[in-house]
Structure 1
Amino acid sequence: MKHAELGRLKQLQKIDVHDNSIQVGSHLCWGKIPSLRFLDLSTNKLEGDIPKCLCENLHVKELFLSDNFLIGNIDACLRNMTSLEYVDLSDNSFNGSLPSLSISNLTNIQSVILSGNEFKGRISLSHFANLSRLSYLDISWNSLEVETESITWVPSFNLSVLNLAACNLKTIPSFISSQRHLESLDLSCNSLIGKIPSWMLDNVSKKLQLRRNGFIGPFPKSFQNSSQLTELDISDNLLSGSFPEDIGLNFPELQSLNASWNNFSGKLPPSFVRMRQLLFLELSGNQFHGEIPYGMTSNMSSLQYLGLSRNNLTGDALPKNSSLPKLRWLYLHGNHFTGNC
């Protein structure tokens, strides 16, 4: 890419060169292009700091630099790009403290994706409180410690996606309970304990990920008659007790359920048969006993993955006349099945 040629295109609004092998950042210094609004350099081989010349394009609204080999601090670059609405810097090696103070000045920002870097230190999410247009925030998989504030603060935003996986959380940030439009919430791989709050199943409409924490107590229930969740992952916790008998009625839209590696017990509820959308069901590593309900293997016509290994199940490995036409993966090892397959 020769910067001299691009610099002559004064009406250029969009540059998309993602998924190439662009290496040298200095070659991207094509000068200011006042009309530029969209810049995608993701999935290349960019190394080193972000070229400062990129940040001179002050009218860019969408900036994508994910999946490169970029390092350093991004504070200086973002500070003046006040037109930004979407920024994705994920899967690089950016380090230093998270530039929350610079981001807090980006009053037009809607989406911030900084996951999979090497940011360090403590951060308070209250820094983002006045970003009224913010709807997507992902700071997961860094070396951050997200503070859970003792003083209540009221966000001006309504998030649709919040990803805080591996953020050293010890308690659930209180502001999340006020977010009524969440489609996806990821709090995986933290140090959260206690019972799973019922409000989560009311507030999150599609995807809830809570794996690898220290949650205890029974299977979470929603205050509403049914949940609209399509994906629920509560694996690798300390949850116990039996599954609710009416689980199929409470979660009619579920496509993926992972409750593996907990301490669930009792029999598998026959109401699984009502979960007609279910594609993925993983219940391995629990203490379920009894036989596999006939309905689970005869009427779940969408099921592609079934994991029941490492339980205390008995009887036939599969009930007679089972019919799982779309099943591709079946894991039943580590049980007490008898008879013929």
Structure 2
Amino acid sequence: MRGNSFNGLIPLELFHLANLEFLDLSDNMIERVLPNDVVGLKSLKQLSLDANFIHGQLPEEIGNLIELKQFTVPGNQISGRIPLSILQLRKLEVLNLQNNSFSLEIPADIGSLANLTTLDLSKNRLSGEVPLSVRNMLSGEFLTWFFDLNEMKKLHLGGNKLTWNNNLAIELKWPLPKSISNTHRLLLLDLSKNSFSGNEFPAFGPDSLIAFVDVSSNTFSGKVPSDFRLFTHLDLHGNNISGEFPAFFSQMSSFQVLNLRNNSIKGSISNDLSSHSSLRILDLSNNYLNGEIPQSLGNLTGMIETPNAPLTLSEIFKFPVEIHDLIVNCKKAKQGLSIRNRDIYTFLDLSKNRLSGEIPHSLGGLKSLKLLNLSFNELSGKIPISFGDLESVETLDLSHNSLDGEIPGTFSKLLELNYLDLSNNKLGGKIPGGPQMDTLVDPNMYANNSGLCGVQIEVPCEKDLVLPGPPLRKKQEPMYSWIATGVRYPVGFLSSTAVMYVLGYFNTAPAYHRRGRRRSSLR
């Protein structure tokens, strides 16, 4: 009954179906929460009420559904405390209360539900410390069971007002089963957008097999711990992390996503990051990094080769896997990048640092790169000609640097480019044309440079101006000479005649003849 237009109350008759095992009323317009009497659903194993308009509180009677394995109500307006009776659901594997208005503290013993594979309490109004029982969910015995079931453990607590007691850090030290393979090393931990603080991160232990870690948008400070291992996704953005760029990152070849944006990290970028053959998203923007951009970044295999139809996590694990959007800066705005697109997009963002020197030409070899942002640095020299080989790039931002020379003509090959910013540099010359370049006509993209010209900004280039030249005059010279001669001759003759007339030349002869006749008559 998913995806209809049911509204109002859930019919009471449904709660008397003793043999009913699955009830899915998601994506409807149901407004009222579960009735108090749900005892009749003795066999119910899955109850899904996602994306409705349910408000009010969850009844304590929810704990009577003792056979329940999956209970999901994300995307509603449910408020109040999480019922303590949920602790009676010992068979519960998936508990998803995401995106509601639950408040107060998380039940202290909720981590004692030993069969949980997914606990999602994110995007609520929960407060207080994360219970010790929840931290113990990430301990050895729990993960040993996890390896036996070959399933992914997910803990979402992001988007609340929770705090973290660093004296009770996560300790992941346990005897690992010998049968562990690479396919088992997936566990998700989301602590983002909370009130976690302190000089140290939660300790994950030297053998941690957590794959997805998101502790972004908190107030952690201090240095990045060196005990992260086998991560594929690490998001620490929006904290107050300081110290040098972590050198041990170069030893962690499993990274696919590394986001350290908006912290206080200083020093130079490690020259050994090229060992990250899987790295597809690297965001180091808005820090205090200095020095030159390493040439070795052009060897990041994950940004060179585009994967062919990568498997999603849901396809790998045969059950729904939800990972919250990765927030990236694109086109000068924050945008969410969903897990569905994360495997096909590659981003390299080094903007808003203190990087200097020339842009490495090797970056032009990152053929699968979708976004390259080097803006707001102190880069100089010319834009590499090799950037014309960025065949997949959609966003290219080199603004607010000291780049000079001309824009490479190879930009005409960038057929996917739909956002370009070269403003506030020292560029000059003609802006290249091309199928895409001719569409990038916003003057702000090229503003505050030394002397750019081109059709994109409606500024003509000198060499394109059409002026009459010597070749044109030479062709017309014979005709012009004959016409001039024909005009000068009659004009000159008439002018001479007029002068002679004024001087009386034409009056002399008659006077002479008259005087001659007069003399004759006197004789």
Shorter chain as denominator, the TM-score bin is 0.7 to 0.9
* Structure 1 residue 153, shift from structure 2 partner: 4.1
Partner of 2:283: 209
Whole-Å Cα distance in 1 between the matches of residues 54 and 98 of structure 2?
A: 13
TM-score (structure 2 length as normaliser): 0.56
Partner of 1:184: 257
For the Cα contact (< 8 Å) 1:48–1:69, is it kept in 2?
yes
Aligned-partner SS, 2:364: helix
Partner of 1:138: 190
1:202 aligned partner, one-letter code: S
Runs of 5+ consecutive residues of structure 2 not aligned to the other structure: 1-32, 147-151, 177-184, 229-248, 304-345, 456-523
Aligned-partner SS, 1:76: coil
For the Cα contact (< 8 Å) 1:188–1:213, is it kept in 2?
yes
Query: Cα–Cα, structure 1 residues 170 and 8, in superposed 2: closer, same or farther, change >3 Å?
Result: same
* Structure 1 residue 152, shift from structure 2 partner: 10
More strand by share: 1
From 430, 434, 438, give the equivalent of 1:322: 434
From 318, 321, 334, give the equivalent of 2:447: 334
For the Cα contact (< 8 Å) 1:303–1:327, is it kept in 2?
no
Q: Which residues in structure 2 correspond to 1:264-303 (within 5 Å)?
A: 264-296=379-411, 298-303=412-417
Aligned-partner SS, 2:47: strand
From 163, 182, 189, give the equivalent of 2:214: 163
Aligned-partner SS, 1:26: coil
Query: Cα–Cα, structure 1 residues 141 and 339, in superposed 2: closer, same or farther, change >3 Å?
Result: same
More helix by share: 2
Whole-Å Cα distance in 1 between the matches of residues 103 and 70 of structure 2?
A: 22
Partner of 1:247: 363
TM-score (structure 1 length as normaliser): 0.82
Higher RCO (CA 8 Å, separation ≥ 6 residues): 1
For the Cα contact (< 8 Å) 2:297–2:362, is it kept in 1?
no
Whole-Å Cα distance in 2 between the matches of residues 124 and 284 of structure 1?
A: 45
Q: Deviations over 1:166-207 (max 9, x none)?
A: 343432221234654332232222222222334555345222
* Structure 1 residue 332, shift from structure 2 partner: 0.9
Q: Deviations over 1:63-122 (max 9, x none)?
A: 322222223322515322222222332222322233465223352462223222222355
Q: Which residues in structure 2 correspond to 1:116-127 (within 5 Å)?
A: 116-121=159-164, 123=166, 127=170
Whole-Å Cα distance in 2 between the matches of residues 326 and 98 of structure 1?
A: 55
Query: Cα–Cα, structure 1 residues 127 and 323, in superposed 2: closer, same or farther, change >3 Å?
Result: same
Partner of 2:475: none
Say how many residue pairs are matched. 336
Runs of 5+ consecutive residues of structure 1 not aligned to the other structure: none
2:281 aligned partner, one-letter code: K
Whole-Å Cα distance in 1 between the matches of residues 273 and 101 of structure 2?
A: 36
Whole-Å Cα distance in 2 between the matches of residues 124 and 197 of structure 1?
A: 32
Partner of 2:129: 97
Q: How well do the aligned residues superpose, as a CA RMSD in angstroms? A: 3.4
2:448 aligned partner, one-letter code: N
Deviates more, 1:267-276 or 1:66-75: 66-75
Whole-Å Cα distance in 1 between the matches of residues 290 and 206 of structure 2?
A: 29
Partner of 1:154: 206
Query: Cα–Cα, structure 1 residues 26 and 125, in superposed 2: closer, same or farther, change >3 Å?
Result: closer
For the Cα contact (< 8 Å) 2:96–2:120, is it kept in 1?
yes
1:9 aligned partner, one-letter code: L
1:197 aligned partner, one-letter code: S
Whole-Å Cα distance in 1 between the matches of residues 136 and 54 of structure 2?
A: 31
* Structure 1 residue 127, shift from structure 2 partner: 0.9
Partner of 1:259: 374
Query: Cα–Cα, structure 1 residues 3 and 162, in superposed 2: closer, same or farther, change >3 Å?
Result: same
Which has the larger Rg?
2
2:418 aligned partner, one-letter code: Q
The percent of aligned pairs where both chains have the same amino acid is 27
